[in-house]
Structure 1
Amino acid sequence: MTRDHDPVLRPTAAQTSAALHPPPGRTGGDLVVETLAGLGATTVFGLPGQHALGVFDALRRSDLRYVGLRMENNAGFAADAYGRITGEAAPLLLSTGPGALMSLPALQEAAAASAPVLAISSQVPVAGLGGGRHGYLHELPDQAASFRGVVKSVHTVRTQSQIPSAIAAAWKSALSVPHGPVWVEIPQDVLLAETHLPVVTAPDATPDELPPRPELTAVAADLLSNAARPAIVAGGGVVRSDASGKLLALAEKLRAPVVTTFGGKGAFPWEHPLSLQSWLEDRHTTDFLEDADVLLVVGSGLGELSSNYHTFQPRGRIVQIEADLGKLESNHPALGIHADARLALQALLETVSERTDPAAAGRVREVLGKVRERIASQDLALEQDVLASVRRALPDGSPSFWDMTILAYWAWSAFDPRGANTLHSAQGAGGLGYGFPAALGAAAADPGRPVLAVSGDGGALYSIAELATARQHDLDVTWLIVDDGGYGILREYMTDAFGTPAATELTRPDFVALAESFGVPGVRTSPETLEEDLAKALATPGPSVVVLPAVLRMFAPTHRR
């Protein structure tokens, strides 16, 4: 077979003329922003630095919207949230060395949560690549090596002609399942030099699909159709692949109870008769899942939190659908199906037989009743009332972003997100400071609805400077800060382990006065007035801060019988 007659897309006369006569005054930085625009980007996040000035200079000649944050890690969290909300690759523009390295915790969180972030960093001039001997400012012996263990792919550019292809390849990598962060680095002199290359228009970066193998879904469908007690664990992969509708249809067809992981919250309706909700740190839920004769795990690796701290010991068969090959059967033997959750669930929907199980909803009610009784026995009315006040104040459909704080740990198990892709937290990698800058990224992605951020006073101090970002860009984010005088969850952990805490108590600012110094309205509330104050802040356009002085406690988890 010859390929002599393959069709060739021939440019029009106008396209040829434009390519032969590119506008003057362009640089390598223009190639970067042209490529991003051609790929469909509309908003970029970041922070300028000396080696990256070529990109930031080009930004002012483009139509891209720039949201600048005050610290690289916070810019990464904002890009992470933008990617989660839109499903698009979120560009993150960084400088070299310290600026690049400051983004690592955010990129680790994006990797853990499968958030598509396209990080583009400058580099030292080409002559200094790979050596670490030239003494350039910010120089690292191998900058890319610092990111290879965190991101999906690394792309180093050495010439201007490589820029469009490298960025397009990274874009494709970020959006091919499993989604995740990617890294592109471009030397300073490549960014600054004048270019005579044609204007970049529409590079091809169509993400790869990951369909399931049909022989595996056939076996899975047979197991599920003939199961006596099927159950489903739905993880973050269901949310990322926008497969919650297919999950609901499959669960109803199989009459299979569903528990959502903390990363998968919202993947299944909270009040559905088959919903076990998200009580994963509870022995009653663990016992129920262990008793399933066929357990379908979709978009979860059954890691530490999802397996009740690795105490989960299944007695039945596991069918695991997972797009991340490294997580497939990584914790439990299973019929492993390497596939995108949406495509695999569709294949199962088309092949499973409908089951009847009139007792399924009753078993779910029994488990949830035991969970409620256990929590009720621990004298935690304050915590439950605070969480309920937040739920009532937050409009349906508005996203919330939760830092690593006690109220967030309650939300993982007990908060009804009322929809997929609405509740987000840093539980993937577990770094502090996520909530507020992530909420800013979500507000930039969808300015039509208010966004809630929740932090403790310790986590709030990681990102307090972003009040200036919120005000500068007039982003509609309400920030709830629960002020308990220190690192509350660490205080509990240390007290439980050692009898007394250390290094957990903090001197804090007056958060209300500090917010107002940035031009952001603030209010100090109480558990009794929280709902009213929070609802008012969320209903008022623009940024706001609500401070709740309160010492909350965690419910006691049950890992073992």
Structure 2
Amino acid sequence: MTHDHDLELRPTAAQTEAALNPPPGRNGGDLVVETLAGLGATTVFGLPGQHALGMFDALRRSDLRYIGLRVENNAGFAADAYGRITGEAAPLLLSTGPGALMSLAALQEAAAASAPVLAIGSQVPTAGLGGGRHGYLHELPDQAASFRGVVKSVHTVRTQSQIPSAIAAAWKSALTAPHGPVWVEIPQDVLLARTSLPVVTAVDATPDDLPPRPELTAVAARLLSHAERPAIIAGGGVIRSDASRKLRELAERLRAPVVTTPGGKGAFPWEHPLSLQSWLEDRHTTDFLEDADVLLVVGSGLGELSSNYHTLRPRGRVIQVEADLGKLESNHPALGIHADARLALRALLETVEERTDPTAEERVGELLRRVRERIDAQDLTLERNVLAAVRRALPASAPSFWDMTILAYWAWSAFDAKGPNTLHSAQGAGGLGYGFPAALGAAVADPTTPVLAVSGDGGALYSVAELATARQYGLNVTWLIVDDGGYGILREYMTDAFGQATATDLTRPDYVALAESFGVPGVRTTPETLESDLAKALSQPGPAVVVLPAVLRMFAPTHLDR
């Protein structure tokens, strides 16, 4: 008996002829790039290294576009942003040992933010794997072990025939909810050896769906439909699953106010009558959420930032929709629904009953008024004016990437992202140096739109080498560097905790002159001229640097008020 799927697997005569007569001059690296192309990849990031040269040699025989950065960690940040913008798994090609390890901080951020990154690194020759011969350059006793606690999955290749399937399995893992980084490693000799295997053409790595269990969404829908004061916390999972429209439909049907986490910025319209905006670091918002009799948390683990530093104590029922099983009910007891946010919201929309609540908009307005009054009382005009100038200068559709700097902390709470998947920061893992290289990755993903990067001078020193990358590829990234002479956030933390700061002041370069030495235009601005200088830089093609000498302060840590 012949089944339809058996017919689909039967090669055509042309396919058989091509398979039996592969082109000469190919090596294991060709199998890597052919598999990536077969999966749909068009762009790869990375840095070459001695053991990885087989992959990089194969790039010139492929149609893949290569974007080379100057530091592996920065290449990882660029791949992370490319994955966030496109929703595709961004290939990251690395070498063994030091090159591989340099990417770990970036892969930790990708894991925390659920950004799909396909990292492919080389290994020492197969004879040295598993405690074999020692003494190879870059050798680690167990390189894969360095990645297991960071990435979603680890795949080790030992023969050329394993390459396509291992990369396909990793690709599927990276793009199955929750998205995340994965690690594939291939020995040097496997990459360099000539291959007679057929050209890789058909690769199936369709991600698995993660639908909610219907009995759970039935209970959730009933709770929400009959709630008196429902509220919604929308996290990064809403962004990653492209579920913003469904979130808005559900909120409007339930008349439920919505607050977005730092990772969920833009998931709900800022000026919507039901929008609580993003003031999670505010005791009034915390009180509002605690008072909800049913609190729906979508795509958030309610971690440190999203729970106002673990001071959130919901008094009502909590419903948590989360694709990462390890985060489900990890911080609060809840009706836990392990599911992709988009599929769960769709199921709820099919089941919930429409609510009427004439007080919802009034309660939202009252909360935002109290937040404004609290901030108004703190004499933070400079900070608010700088953030407003950035917002006015940045086109509504342009993405922005924020390093761990005081202005980014402000942006988490006070910046209108204008839409989903436009504001990105390193708030997942919290490492320095994210903003500029990530913005470069976004500019590669969409060269038609200007991209903004925001760093402090401390974080900028992690990334200055990538000015060469920006210039080499002519990437449309404007880099705003807020120069306060040190690690501004840590200076505030230490002063508050100990009365004075230690190890936070920095000698730094003249960033304008430094940018110009790379062939990148630079300008020194002021709070008064920031908007016009930033708008001008963003409107011109290619990279630019705008330096703002200013000491900014944070608003009061509201979780301590309780």
Distance (whole Å) between structure 1 residues aligned to residue 322 and residue 286 of structure 2: 21
Partner of 2:533: 533
In structure 1, give the amino acid aligned to 2:227.
Answer: A
How far did 1:297 drift? 0.2
Alignment of 1:343-362 (within 5 A): 343-362=343-362
User: In the alignment, which residue of structure 2 is the partner of 1:453?
Assistant: 453
Shift of 1:4: 8.5
- In structure 2, runs of 5+ residues without a counterpart are none
- Paired AA for residue 472 in structure 2: Q
For 1:360-390, what per-residue CA distance to the aligned partner results, in whole angstroms no more than 9, with x for missing partners? 0000011111000000100000000000000
Equivalent position of 1:129 in the other structure: 129
Q: What residue number does 1:7 align with?
A: 6
TM-score (norm 2): 0.99
Distance 2:356 2:557 in 1: 34
Q: Who is 2:492 aligned against?
A: 492
Alignment match, 1:222: 222
Unaligned 5+ residue runs, structure 1?
A: none
Partner Cα separation in structure 1 for residue 288 and residue 19 of structure 2: 64
User: Does the CA-based 8 Å contact 1:52-1:122 persist in structure 2?
Assistant: yes
1:132·1:140 contact (CA, 8 Å) conserved in 2? no
State the match for 2:433 in structure 1.
433
1:6 offset after TM fit, Å?
A: 6.3
Tell me by how many angstroms 1:130 deviates.
Answer: 1.4
C-alpha distance after superposition, 1:98-151 (max 9, x if no partner):
000000000000000000000000000000011165210000010000000000
AA matched with 2:448: G
Note if contact 2:238-2:298 (Cα within 8 Å) is conserved in structure 1.
yes
Residue in structure 2 matched with residue 119 of structure 1 by the alignment: 119
Aligned mates of 2:5, 2:414 — CA distance in 1: 58
Q: Distance in 2 between matches of 1:512 and 1:203?
A: 48
Match of 2:200 in 1: 200
8 Å Cα contact 1:265-1:423 kept in structure 2: yes
Q: Is the 8 A contact 1:232 1:295 kept in 2?
A: yes
Corresponding residue for 1:380? 380
Identity of aligned residues (%): 86
**CA distance in structure 2 between the aligned counterparts of 1:246 and 1:353, rounded to whole angstroms:** 15
Report how far residue 202 of structure 1 moved.
Answer: 2.2
Separation in structure 1 between the aligned mates of residue 134 and residue 372 of structure 2, nearest angstrom:
64
Q: 1:79 to 1:6 in 2, by over 3 A?
A: closer
Match of 2:396 in 1: 396
C-alpha distance in 1 between matches for 2:539 and 2:413? 27
Q: Is the CA contact (8 Å cut-off) linking 1:132 and 1:141 kept in structure 2?
A: no
The letter for the 1-side match of 2:284 is: H
Partner residue in 1 for 2:185: 185
Describe the shift of the 1:58–1:493 C-alpha distance in structure 2 as closer, same or farther (beyond 3 A): same
**Alignment partner, residue 319 of structure 1:** 319
Residue equivalent to 1:169: 169
Match of 1:104 in 2: 104
How far 1:10 moved relative to its partner? 1.1
CA shift in 2, pair 1:4/1:460, >3 Å: closer
How far residue 525 of structure 1 moved from its aligned partner, in angstroms, is 0.2
Kindly indicate whether residue 18 of structure 2 is the aligned counterpart of residue 42 of structure 1: no
Question: Could you tell me how far apart the structure 2 residues matched to 1:10 and 1:365 are?
Answer: 63
Quote the offset at 1:557 in angstroms.
2.0
Match in the other structure for 2:291 = 291
- The 1-side partners of 2:3 and 2:171 are apart by 31
Q: Which amino acid aligns with 2:15?
A: Q
Q: Which residue number in structure 1 is paired with residue 247 of structure 2?
A: 247
Aligned to 1:309: 309
What's 1:552 paired with? 552
The answer to whether the Cα contact below 8 Å between 1:247 and 1:345 also exists between their aligned partners in 2 is yes
Match of 1:479 in 2: 479
Which letter maps to 2:6?
Answer: P
- Code of the residue aligned with 2:95 in structure 1: it is S
The one-letter amino acid paired with 2:153 is S
Asked if structure 1 preserves the Cα contact closer than 8 Å seen for 2:230 and 2:292, the reply is: yes
DSSP-derived class of the 2:350 partner: helix
CA distance in 2, matches of 1:43, 1:528: 40
1:132–1:139 Cα contact (<8 Å) kept? no
Shift of 1:495: 0.3
Conserved? CA contact 2:176–2:207, under 8 Å: yes
Matches of 1:387 and 1:6, distance apart in 2: 57
Amino acid at match of 2:259: V
Structure 1 CA distance, aligned partners of 2:164 and 2:133? 29
Contact in 1 for aligned 2:127/2:133 (Cα 8 Å)? no
Distance 1:410 1:363 in 2: 24
Q: After superposition, what is the alpha-carbon deviation per residue over 1:404-430, rounded to whole angstroms, capped at 9, x for unaligned?
A: 000000000000000000000000000
**What amino acid is the match of 1:56?**
F
**Cα shift readout 1:186-210 (whole Å, capped 9, x = no counterpart):** 0000000000000001200000000
Q: CA deviation at 1:7?
A: 2.2
> How many angstroms apart in 1 are the aligned matches of 2:233 and 2:327?
15
Q: Across the two proteins, how many residue pairs are aligned to each other?
A: 560
Letter in 2 for 1:189: D
Deviation at 1:5, TM superposition (A): 8.8
Deviations 1:483-527 (A, max 9, x none): 000000100000000000000000010000000000000000000
Q: Residue type of the partner of 1:449?
A: T
Please, what is the CA RMSD of the aligned residues?
A: 1.0
Which AA in structure 2 matches 1:170? A
Q: What is the identity, as a one-letter code, of the residue corresponding to 2:161?
A: S
Distance between the aligned counterparts of 1:465 and 1:6, measured in 2? 52
Provide TM-score, normalisation by structure 1: 0.99
Q: Deviations over 1:319-370 (max 9, x none)?
A: 0000000000000000000000000000000100000001000000111110
Question: Per-residue CA shift, 1:449-508, capped at 9, x if unaligned?
Answer: 000000000000000000000000000000000000000010000000000000000001
Q: Which residue of 1 aligns with 2:158?
A: 158
**Does the 8 A contact of 1:46 with 1:67 survive in 2?**
yes
C-alpha distance in 1 between matches for 2:369 and 2:4: 69
- Cα distance in 1 for partners of 2:509, 2:58 equals 39
In the alignment, the residues of structure 2 paired with residue 226 and residue 59 of structure 1 have an alpha-carbon distance, to the nearest angstrom, of 58
Distance 1:420 1:544 in 2: 25
Q: Distance in 1 between matches of 2:365 and 2:58?
A: 59
Distance in 2 between residues matched to 1:198 and 1:176, nearest whole Å: 28
Supply the distance in 2 between the matched residues of 1:205 and 1:530 (Cα, whole angstroms): 47
User: 1:276 aligns to what SS in structure 2?
Assistant: coil
**Structure 2 CA distance for aligned equivalents of residues 204 and 348 of structure 1:** 31
For residues 277 and 199 of structure 2, what CA distance do their matches in structure 1 show? Answer: 51
Shift of 1:3: 9.0
Secondary structure of the 1:318 match is strand
- Residue 211 (structure 2) aligns with: 211
**Map of 2:422 onto structure 1:** 422
